[in-house]
C-alpha cells in the first residue's frame, strides 16, 4: 500500500471522528446533557489539533518534493520507514 493512501485513510477517519464529535456536542446541547456536550466538544477539539499536524506533514512532503526532488524520489521508492532508516545507516 502506498504511504499516500494510508495518509488519505487517516485523514478520512479524522474527518468522520470530527463530524461525529460535532453531532454528539450538538445533541448534548439540545438535550441538556452536559457530559455528552463535553465529550463531543473535546472530541472535536482534539481532532482539530491532530488535523493541524497532518497539514504540517503535507507541507513538509511538498517542500521535499519541490526543493529536494532527488531525495524525495529516493524516499518514496524506498517504501517503509524501517528500510529507509537502514539505508541511511549504511551511508554513515
Summary count for the chain: helices (H), strands (E): 4, 0
What is the rounded CA–CA span in Å between residue 85 and residue 50?
25
Mean pLDDT for the stretch of residues 9-33: 92
92 pLDDT higher than 60: no
Mean pLDDT for the stretch of residues 22-29: 94
Q: Where are the domains of the chain?
A: 3-91
Q: What is the pTM assigned to this prediction?
A: 0.62
Spatial CB neighbours of 76, under 8 Å, sequence gap ≥ 6:
3
Contact 28, 39 (CB under 8 A): yes
Amino acid at each position: 500500500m502506498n504511504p499516500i493512501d494510508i495518509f488519505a485513510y487517516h485523514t478520512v477517519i479524522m474527518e468522520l471522528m470530527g463530524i461525529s464529535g460535532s453531532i454528539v456536542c450538538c445533541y448534548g446541547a439540545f438535550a441538556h446533557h452536559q457530559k455528552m456536550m463535553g465529550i463531543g466538544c473535546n472530541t472535536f477539539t482534539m481532532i482539530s489539533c491532530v488535523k493541524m499536524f497532518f497539514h504540517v506533514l503535507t507541507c513538509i512532503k511538498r517542500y521535499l518534493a519541490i526543493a529536494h526532488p532527488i531525495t524525495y524520489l529516493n524516499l518514496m521508492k524506498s517504501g517503509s520507514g524501517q528500510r529507509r532508516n537502514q539505508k541511511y545507516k549504511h551511508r554513515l
